Homo-oligomer: A and B are copies of this chain.
């Protein structure tokens, strides 16, 4: 590929002028622009992303950082990702998924050269070194998820606190008093401290206690087998459990089967409510699961819009940081019913 210097020499202009043309700014006369574009064509110079990175510091590439090699990219995360990628594409950006574990040095190496215009961070922990690093590097970013301290954090997130309260309102409204929570076991893994689980479990414990009820929490291993084991563990803790909230799509089917194996009919004996889930995931069980559906489509879109507003300089300099929370919405299907008498 020809360099900008070669194009500049051929056209008899400065590199800066070539850069203006590559950028599409208006400061170049039509005659000069024509000389530059003719030189670009003759030399095979292409207006590509690396040239743009040099010329303008803009590549229109957004990197979505997801630790997919450490934490399964489940169907809820996928919905965030697809929605973000779609919206970026509509707004003239390319969104790529960067799956590798990104330590501080790797982040700096990737981000300091202007390769990407901005970053979306996913799978955020209560304390997350990636956030500090992005702030230090002054790379425009938005977080899907919240650290413990959100003072300086631009984010969108599921409102896990409200989701859990709404779920408990629904189940206690059906008369349930002995309610369990089944949640992924991340202790000792690199995802320990994952904010959605900590917020959901904390809210469950606090809200149950405030309601004068005992919070039963069991952790759950991967897949259907994990769900079956969680059913056994929960019944060992409280044989008369009448409702379970599960926050783990890939184990919800196994949980229902495990309850059934133990002689509990769903929903006649035990109600099951799957949270941070979706209708499609709920349909992969029998009975079809009542779910609280993650607003992945809305939040993925809003995250990218807020980021691109920053990138395009459309956000007022003194504008407040985006702090946007949406709860999961209840969709009642076949796995929840009034508490047995």
Interface residue ranges, A against B (CB under 8 Å): 1, 46-51, 53-54, 63, 68-69, 73, 78, 81-82, 85-86, 88-89, 94-101, 108-110, 112-115, 222-225, 250, 253-254, 257, 280, 283-284, 286
The CA-CA distance from A285 to B250 in the complex, in Å, is 12
Neighbour of A94 across the interface among B46, B51, B98, CB < 8 A = B98
Q: Which chain B residues border A89 with CB–CB below 8 Å?
A: 69, 100-101
**In the complex, chain B residues whose CB is within 8 Å of the CB of A114:** 1, 50
Q: Which residues does chain B contribute within 8 Å of A63, judged by CB atoms? A: 96
CB<8 Å pairs between A and B, sample of 26: A1-B114, A46-B109, A46-B113, A47-B109, A50-B50, A50-B53, A50-B114, A50-B115, A63-B96, A82-B99, A85-B99, A88-B100, A89-B100, A89-B101, A94-B100, A95-B99, A96-B96, A97-B97, A115-B115, A222-B280, A223-B280, A223-B283, A224-B280, A224-B283, A253-B284, A254-B284
Complex contact A257–B286 (CB within 8 A): yes
Which residues of chain B have C-beta atoms less than 8 A from A253's C-beta? Answer: 253, 284
Judge whether A108 and B284 touch: CB under 8 Å: no
Counting from the closest, the 8 A-B pairs by CB-CB distance are A48-B113, A50-B113, A97-B97, A224-B283, A96-B96, A85-B99, A46-B112, A89-B100
New A-B pairs, 12, CB < 8 Å, besides A48-B108, A95-B100, A254-B283: A1-B113, A46-B113, A48-B112, A50-B114, A63-B96, A69-B89, A73-B78, A88-B100, A94-B98, A94-B100, A96-B99, A250-B284
From A261, which residue of chain B is reached at the shortest CB distance?
Answer: B286
Which B residues are CB-close (under 8 A) to A48?
Answer: 108-110, 112-113, 115
Residues in B whose Cβ lies below 8 Å from that of A100: 85, 88-89, 94-95
**Residue of chain B at shortest CB distance from A222:** B280
Q: Within 8 Å CB of A85, what residues of B?
A: 68-69, 99-100
Most chain B CB within a 10 A radius of its CB, from A50, A89, A222 = A50
CB-CB under 8 A from A283, the residues of chain B are 223-225, 254
